[in-house]
Structure 1
Amino acid sequence: MSPKLLIAFLLLPFSFAQAIPEIAGPITGDVRANQATLWMYAPSKSKCTFSYLAEGSSKKINKTGNLTALSNQAAKVPGQIFKSTMNGLAPDTRYQYQVSINGKADPKWKGSLKTAPVEGTSTAFRMAITSCMHIKRAQRSWNLLLEEQPDLHLTVGDTHYADTTNPTVQLEHHLTYRREKEFAKVLQQVPTYAMWDDHDYGPNNSDGTAKGKEFSLAGWKQAWPNPPSGTSKTPGAFFKFSRGDVDFFVVDGRYHRSPNELPDDDKKRMLGDAQFEWLLNGLKNSKAKFKIIASGSVLEHSKVDGWRIFTFSRHRLFDAIKEHKISGVMYIGGDMHKSLVWQHHESDRVGYPMIEIMSSGITNGKDLSFATIDFDTTVADPTARVRIIYGRGEKINTDKTWKLSQLSHANK
């Protein structure tokens, strides 16, 4: 054998091993009263199937289905993204599921989820909120999050730090993180909704001028099993979902954003006019008790990259809530590598306390913190209880509760 052929032969096993992508997932995402979206990453041309049944049910009524490979995958990676929907589920019910790849059912591909109650009905549930995840930091707070047994998980940005609009590089970062055992377990056990911020949308503090943002958006839609995003006329990562009679408006603070450096005048936009109209119409038409606006950008605590330097956009939102007497609005933000809950100093413009829950730094920050909200709309005066939980080896809770009557224009 010639030296060249020998070298090629010796390198073949290594190259072949490198070409076989690792598996990532499963993830449960958009979960409704009667269906749930399932996501998986596996080698190309794999046959991915799933089975599921309600807790306590006989295995004889186990249901099965196939995961569908995306035919127009935005990222150029060796493996394949698979997505599908589990249908025919019962509301407010816990299910166990198992994914199989080419006939193999690994325990690592097993998970659970709890379906939502029927939209508009009174409910009590717990959600966890995170942002700012870093692969090279301590991951222990994910275990604390699981101990809280949330019904759903919302992450509001910096789900990785690729700092590019290249969907291939972005997906590689997503996959690397989803193979961390602590985070992987959360994604398997807790339905997760995701919104990007700057580092997983494009470069640091990036905005609507970012080159290649349309490719970033295409990749993002495939990387997360979110509800359908944007509208037929307005692209973006923004979407709405409901849990009983709590509505969530998850807004995209990057795709249509004006550059931070522009003068802070009435031409500067955080969401863009079309997305703002989508948000306002959603708030006005919502019959939910609580209406939650969530985004990666914070209202006040960033002096260089948040709503604080978008005065027109901030005031337009606050004034519209007051003008249209929209009750029960709260705000969720991330980005700052710390967590807190506070009342905005411009709440007079809203007509009641504008509460912001900032949850950030679950793996990127000294506190390793995250937040939970317990909603209870079954009581006469519905409540939202907010706790901040830190990951310094012990749990320290900051516990505050608001009643719906406190977040209302009635009698004012």
Structure 2
Amino acid sequence: MLFRNLTAIFIFFNIHYLFAQDSTLLICGPMLGYVQHREALIWLETTPAVKKIQIKYFQEEAPASINTITYDGRLGERYNPVKIILPFLDMNTRYQYEIYLNDKKQVFTFPLTFKTKMVWEFRQPAPDFSFLFGSCAYINDALYDRPGEPYGRDPGIFDTMACVPSDFMIWLGDNMYTREADNTSRSGLYYRYTHDRKIPQLRRLLASRPNYATWDDHDYGPNDIGSCYELKDVSLQAFKDFWGNETYGESDNPGVYTHFNYIDCDFFLTDDRFYRSDDKMNDSSAAKHYLGNRQLEWLENSLLYSKATFKFICSGSQVLNPLNDFESWRHYQKEFDGLLKFIRENKINGVVFLSGDRHISEIIKVQPDGFYPLFDITGSAFTSRFNPKFTQGKEANNAFRVVPKAVLDQNFIKITVTGARNNRIASVSAITVDNMQAWNYEIHQSDITYK
């Protein structure tokens, strides 16, 4: 009954939102991108009718002290994704902001607020925090979908996620699904981003907390494609235009890979598409690349530099599952074995993999020789349909799965990091579309540390 009441409330708010905002000016957003100690990124998309965009922002405790920033980029196009950085903020401070389009204040049914990061180092124990992650958001679009039963399921899961407190959100790929008519042109890619981003169920979630993202095949291009995609540079630009990460790749090595830190944890969002060899290449081939040499070098150096308690390596495809015959980092033996060897030889503590893609959620645990246990937490799917193959064959009762069961329905993952210094715990929960916990599992810092 409680969830039904919450659903009714969200339906009311979403309907009210459609009337509250000016649809002749704002298509979708705002979305909160990265937030640092002294700046934050706000994303939105406007119609061609918009000629002027301003954001007014102020500290919640000093609402009379208003700062105004005017967007100076190009407007008036068919697709107008806009990113505005709010600079020179105070750390550990809550801000409110307002959006003005053509000098008209936009009205929303949810608050537009964010809090800048704090400096806790050398001052206090690491604070507790939490984040959400997941993958595979198929939004139905009848004109371009395949015939038959719609593949996308209830987008109300995003309303559920908006109700679950967390400090930020990680989108782990297949954040949209390009169709055959989308991935053949820039026009198609930008159409798909806009179509999916503007559904009302997404708005509250995207505005409520910082959003970080990487991609997998379906939001990169055609199914299972890698480095041979002829529009990969166009797709990369579209990703940059519609997401709010602080960085993308390196100046001389393009891609969506990036890193960010939160409290005592580091997050390495890898790009598993731009340099990826075709899956059908022999697994043992030295020429078979998953990240490519430069990105792998970046990851290894970043891990070596990191002082984080938990080092979360994020991958669009699953990483550790020995029984996965489909897309997996493990099938790229040179890079997979090389990364594990690097971690072992340098005694890098606290590595945990986060992955998506599979249309199930599970935790895989493996014990490599000379290693602490390695965990791969797979979160999928937001709205995509479950694949019945996972209830059959060798993966049905996977001995490497440490949670009681794989989640075979719509869900997302919440990870909460708590505990005292040297005794931190990552508590992992799978949460269903109706806000029920499917399972919970704890990973202790002491368990993934070289003795």
TM-score tier (shorter): 0.7 to 0.9
Q: Which amino acid aligns with 1:283?
A: L
Q: Which amino acid aligns with 1:113?
A: F
- TM-score, normalised on structure 2? 0.80
Distance 1:280 1:119, change over 3 A: farther
Query: Runs of 5+ in structure 1 lacking a partner?
Result: 1-19
Distance 1:394 1:246, change over 3 A: closer
Q: Residue 152 of structure 1 aligns with which residue?
A: 168
Provide the rounded CA distance (Å) in 2 between the counterparts of 1:309 and 1:102: 52
Q: CA deviation at 1:214?
A: 1.2
Distance 1:339 1:165, change over 3 A: farther
Q: CA deviation at 1:209?
A: 1.1
Q: Which amino acid aligns with 1:140?
A: G
- Does 2:284 correspond to 1:262? no
- TM-score, normalised on structure 1? 0.87
Q: CA deviation at 1:188?
A: 1.0
Provide the rounded CA distance (Å) in 2 between the counterparts of 1:123 and 1:322: 29
Q: CA deviation at 1:261?
A: 0.5
Q: Number of residues paired by the alignment?
A: 384
Q: Residue 410 of structure 2 aligns with which residue?
A: 368
* Deviations, residues 93-126 of structure 1 (Å, cap 9, x unaligned): 3332221111112223852223223385723211
Match of 1:381 among 423, 439, 445: 423
Distance 1:119 1:49, change over 3 A: farther
Q: Residue 289 of structure 1 aligns with which residue?
A: 309
After the TM superposition, which parts of structure 1 deviate over 6 Å for at least 4 consecutive aligned residues?
none
Query: Runs of 5+ in structure 2 lacking a partner?
Result: 1-23, 141-152, 387-408
Match of 1:399 among 440, 444, 450: 440
Q: Which amino acid aligns with 2:80?
A: Q
Q: CA deviation at 1:207?
A: 0.5
* Deviations, residues 300-348 of structure 1 (Å, cap 9, x unaligned): 26412112322222211111111111111111100111112231x2x32
Matched residue SS, 2:31:
strand
Matched residue SS, 1:313:
helix
Provide the rounded CA distance (Å) in 1 between the counterparts of 2:185 and 2:381: 24
Distance 1:350 1:37, change over 3 A: farther
Residues 165 and 213 in structure 1, CA contact (< 8 A), matched pair in contact too: no
Query: Which moves more between the two structures, 245-254 or 99-108?
Result: 99-108
Residues 422 and 445 in structure 2, CA contact (< 8 A), matched pair in contact too: no
Residues 58 and 64 in structure 2, CA contact (< 8 A), matched pair in contact too: no
Provide the rounded CA distance (Å) in 2 between the counterparts of 1:67 and 1:252: 30
Q: Which amino acid aligns with 1:26?
A: P
Provide the rounded CA distance (Å) in 2 between the counterparts of 1:377 and 1:67: 43
Distance 1:246 1:36, change over 3 A: same
Distance 1:371 1:119, change over 3 A: same
- Does 2:57 correspond to 1:41? no
Distance 1:254 1:66, change over 3 A: same
Identity percentage of aligned residues:
29
Match of 1:333 among 355, 370, 373: 355
Matched residue SS, 1:61:
coil
Query: Which moves more between the two structures, 109-118 or 182-191?
Result: 109-118
Q: Residue 312 of structure 1 aligns with which residue?
A: 334
- Does 2:261 correspond to 1:219? no
